[in-house]
Structure 1
């Protein structure tokens, strides 16, 4: 009986000496002590994490903003534009579209609009007659139909477009790049350029044309004026068509045979919006490379956190020994340092996400894009920092937990 009472008293004493349990708020509060007592070291360690996260969020955000701008452009311009251009003959020579190609394509039922340009061969464009002939700047003269802008979705930056009257006289509308290379900003009265051997009056300048990039480096003149002033033979170089959205692929299948029934294999048919999408895909490959660099920066930041935590354990052995002497368990010591590592990483992750979003917004505003920062990128970035923080702090936390009170106090 006496032994039973003694065992009960021992169990009661053991329960009385059981260490108090620490809730999550207590663990976070204790873990934050190391950050508050060493603010500069904590800031520098969190900065490494923040740089990696900011790089990843900014790369994803800029890429998403660029894609959103492309989608907006395609919605505005339409994805139902198809182009027809001459290819090559079996002998490898440049082919030529028939003179009636434009009218034949216009007969296709689902086609709602057709327009064309025709390159004037051996005709360069200069600011004046004093420019050396070899310095063409890559500019060329094209005959253009009056309904070209509506068909390709291009817009004027300044001036007016060619119409039935100006199309018969030596007047020209310059593409965006052509105007810049010729040094023409605003159109002043009497502004002229040399096309071939004839001076043409500049009546308008185009905005960049995403669906017809060949217009950017062109000097466009009316079809009749190109024939009378520059000796244009009337053969179209590029036909532009718009079709019903639901019939684009059907139209695409018959465009070659319709434009040149005698030699359909000498006709190239393309969809300009596909080229823009391919360009975006190339940009996404580059984005993947930048994301890899951001991941490396994030890894370096994690190594910095691990280094900080190891040093923190070495410097705070006396604290660990004192807490163990006062009854703290190994698990509580482990949780303390693990919480410190997670808080350090979380500060870097949140700061990096905010910085990356700010960079994305600033760059999007500068480029005139819609600002898009995917939620998954921000959440994934912060989540990655927590994982890295847990991995970086695990070894130092376990090392601190293994210290015995006497060993820690004696080492101090």
Structure 2
């Protein structure tokens, strides 16, 4: 008897999908419904662009602050008159400036003295009540260099003009007085005396009080405006490494009899505080961007659910031809990821463009942290995976007969 050894019949093993195949079948839905895909990707792009733009603009602003502080210096300390125990305005000694100059690490000192009774007006016809918040200050000649200020128009006081009725206006003071530029015929009334505007300052970041001031020479303030010679604000530049030690002795040196009546501050701290406020506002804007991104993710999920409903015959046909549930699931998940990736890439480009445009408009350096772009793309892929997970699972659970029976 001949024995025939029959081998087991071969089993059909589904073909494995290569990455290229996954990309190709995942892009089918995007190619067949381009408008819907574009609108869904646009929702994701807006959210990512908002987040990237906010981070980029905030970083560019911070870089500009660092550049400003580096240019202006962070070693400026301001000594100003405070209040007495009775709440009255205190006065620093006339020789406070000379005493501070004796401190070893102090590199330079300059002074300004407020002339309270000298109000500033555009002309004698202006009502006395309409001062515009402009104050008059006697200024030393080296004040400009000490506070790192610049003259926008005209010139600064010098050895000749400090003895005559010549005035330099701060940026806001000039604006309120309607003085656009320094000129021989540009005059303002300081006290009861007409002063010629010889200069207009640019904004002074480290001494913002000077923006609202009319600055006159120390000698003319004493002779023409009854200035008593007591400085109200001293500006000091010190060795950066010994700044805190200088700060601790400034009050006692400026007014040894009443150091509690002297206030010592560091103007650069005010700029840092302003930056902290901007960062808090940036956090709020990031929250808005996250909400926009969430809305975009919901749009992607909605698109994928509708795509599954519309393509049930296609799913049934693929299942009948041997596609496994895993392959169907991979197809729709890949489509969702592609849709989100397109939106993320567009959002990153848009956010980068907004950051660069705004920074260049403001004259800031363009700074966009790498983590913002990488994180933005990773976030879109995560949103895409979540948005496509349910539709993909739902599509894979359709049986071939059920899917083909769909009209």
TM-score normalised by L of structure 2? 0.98
Corresponding residue to 1:55 among 29, 50, 56: 50
* 1:398 and 2:397 are equivalent in the alignment: no
> Secondary structure, in 3 states, of the residue corresponding to 1:146?
coil
* 1:45 and 2:40 are equivalent in the alignment: yes
> Secondary structure, in 3 states, of the residue corresponding to 1:60?
helix
> Secondary structure, in 3 states, of the residue corresponding to 1:411?
coil
More divergent stretch after superposition (127-136 vs 63-72)? 127-136
Deviation per CA, 1:245-300: give whole Å up to 9, x if none. 11101100100100011111111101111111011001100100110111011011
* 1:324 and 2:285 are equivalent in the alignment: no
How many aligned residue pairs are there? 407
- C-alpha deviation, 1:126, in angstroms: 1.8
Q: Alpha carbons of 1:4 and 1:124: their partners in 2 closer, same or farther (altered >3 Å)?
A: farther
* 1:115 and 2:110 are equivalent in the alignment: yes
The 1-side partners of 2:198 and 2:292 are apart by 53
Q: Alpha carbons of 1:401 and 1:163: their partners in 2 closer, same or farther (altered >3 Å)?
A: same
Give the match for residue 378 of structure 2.
383
Aligned partners of 2:162 and 2:219 also within 8 Å: yes
Give the root-mean-square deviation of aligned CA atoms. 1.5
Q: Gaps spanning 5+ residues in structure 2: where?
A: none
- C-alpha deviation, 1:130, in angstroms: 2.1
Corresponding residue to 1:217 among 193, 212, 215: 212
The 1-side partners of 2:160 and 2:182 are apart by 19
* 1:173 and 2:168 are equivalent in the alignment: yes
> Secondary structure, in 3 states, of the residue corresponding to 1:254?
helix
How do residues 96-175 of structure 1 correspond to structure 2 at under 5 angstroms? 96-175=91-170
- C-alpha deviation, 1:371, in angstroms: 1.1
The 1-side partners of 2:364 and 2:249 are apart by 37
> Secondary structure, in 3 states, of the residue corresponding to 1:63?
helix
The 2-side partners of 1:115 and 1:55 are apart by 46
> Secondary structure, in 3 states, of the residue corresponding to 2:214?
strand
The 2-side partners of 1:129 and 1:336 are apart by 83
Deviation per CA, 1:157-194: give whole Å up to 9, x if none. 11110011100000011111111222222323311111
The 1-side partners of 2:398 and 2:258 are apart by 86
Corresponding residue to 1:28 among 23, 28, 31: 23
> Secondary structure, in 3 states, of the residue corresponding to 1:50?
helix
Give the match for residue 300 of structure 2.
305
More divergent stretch after superposition (69-78 vs 86-95)? 86-95
The 1-side partners of 2:32 and 2:16 are apart by 25
The 2-side partners of 1:41 and 1:128 are apart by 67
* 1:93 and 2:109 are equivalent in the alignment: no
- C-alpha deviation, 1:387, in angstroms: 0.4
The 2-side partners of 1:129 and 1:5 are apart by 124
More divergent stretch after superposition (176-185 vs 394-403)? 176-185
Corresponding residue to 1:185 among 168, 180, 185: 180
TM-score normalised by L of structure 1? 0.96
- C-alpha deviation, 1:86, in angstroms: 1.2
The 2-side partners of 1:74 and 1:3 are apart by 97
Give the match for residue 259 of structure 2.
264
- C-alpha deviation, 1:311, in angstroms: 0.5
> Secondary structure, in 3 states, of the residue corresponding to 2:405?
helix
Corresponding residue to 1:358 among 341, 353, 361: 353
Deviation per CA, 1:115-144: give whole Å up to 9, x if none. 011111032222222222222221111110
- C-alpha deviation, 1:337, in angstroms: 0.5
> Secondary structure, in 3 states, of the residue corresponding to 2:112?
strand
How do residues 215-294 of structure 1 correspond to structure 2 at under 5 angstroms? 215-294=210-289
The 2-side partners of 1:259 and 1:196 are apart by 29
Q: Alpha carbons of 1:376 and 1:198: their partners in 2 closer, same or farther (altered >3 Å)?
A: same
- C-alpha deviation, 1:228, in angstroms: 1.2
Give the match for residue 362 of structure 2.
367
> Secondary structure, in 3 states, of the residue corresponding to 1:9?
coil
> Secondary structure, in 3 states, of the residue corresponding to 2:8?
helix
The 1-side partners of 2:4 and 2:54 are apart by 71
Q: Gaps spanning 5+ residues in structure 1: where?
A: none
The 1-side partners of 2:4 and 2:167 are apart by 112
